[in-house]
Structure 1
Amino acid sequence: MYSNTAAIAKSDAATYAANIIGITFLVSQFALYTFPAEQVATEFLDISNAIYSSKWYENDKVTQKLVLFVMMKSQQCLYFTGAGLVDINAGAFEAVVRKSFSFGAIVKNLLQI
């Protein structure tokens, strides 16, 4: 007689492997968006610091006003959003990864009961 337990075990292993690959792909894709977005946001702050460190005050009044405007705009907290719902930054990535592992641990414990 043919036993289905070996076929079920192979199917479960394949499903598990496919789920791991899918989750890894999704987390990697989210990381590819969040870390460059975080870098861009910190570069805006660096622009303001670099301008302030220069001798901008030694220029004429028109140039001083333009430089001050650039410093003000670069000090505003700029960030990318996902459809206007969530900020895309390293903190969001950390929260998503942490919550997904917590959810996976809860589901694993519930399935073992």
Structure 2
Amino acid sequence: MLEMIFTKSTLFNFVSSSILICLTGFNVMAIEDSPYVMTFLSFLSSCLLQIFLLCFFGDMLMRSSMEIGDAVYKSKWYETKPTIAKNLLLVQTRSQKPCRLTASGFADVNLRAFMKILSTAWSYFALLKTMYSSPRT
């Protein structure tokens, strides 16, 4: 249900975060006025924190759902009634495919996606910096 509700907004969040991190980092580098730099640094840190927390909790959801099967296996399922053991087998089978949030199916929301966002933002930043510092003819 979370996937259905938040998938498009998560994709928008991923794309906009990459662009915002890139442009804010570029402003920090290009502007020489200290008060403006501090403002952009605080904005940059809040953008990074926001996307990190989204990815961190998505990663936590994925890892926790993968641990359910191990928890069922390590329980004393062999001492329960057969009907309960069958239900536990169903839970264990279902837990082999982890619950996860995605950004409209393009990327899973986890810490690996956070690193990808940072990588993309850095690539855009390096391109902007190269274009900004290249000699104009």
In the TM superposition, residue 59 of structure 1 has moved relative to its aligned partner by: 2.0
Give 1:81-96 correspondences, 5 Å limit.
81-82=102-103, 85-96=106-117
RMSD: 2.0
**3-state SS of 1:81 partner:** coil
> Percent same amino acid among aligned pairs?
24
Unaligned runs of 5+ in 2: 1-30
Alignment match, 1:39: 60
Q: CA deviation at 1:105?
A: 1.6
Q: Structure 1: give runs of 5+ residues left out of the alignment.
A: 1-10
Q: Which runs of structure 1 show a deviation greater than 4 angstroms over 4 or more consecutive aligned residues?
A: none
Cα shift at 1:16: 3.9
Number of matched pairs: 103
Q: TM-score, normalised by structure 1?
A: 0.77
Matches of 2:105 and 2:40, distance apart in 1 = 29
The TM-score normalised by the length of structure 2 is 0.65
SS in 2 for 1:33: helix
Deviation track 1:9-66 (CA, whole Å, cap 9, x = no partner) reads xx75244443333222111101111112211211112121011122212322201111
Higher relative CO (Cα under 8 Å, sequence separation at least 6) belongs to 2
Match of 2:5 in 1: none
Larger radius of gyration: 1
What per-residue deviation string (whole Å, max 9, x for no partner) do you get for residues 54-103 of structure 1?
22123222011110111122221211124555421111100001111121
- The structure with the greater share of residues assigned to strand is 1
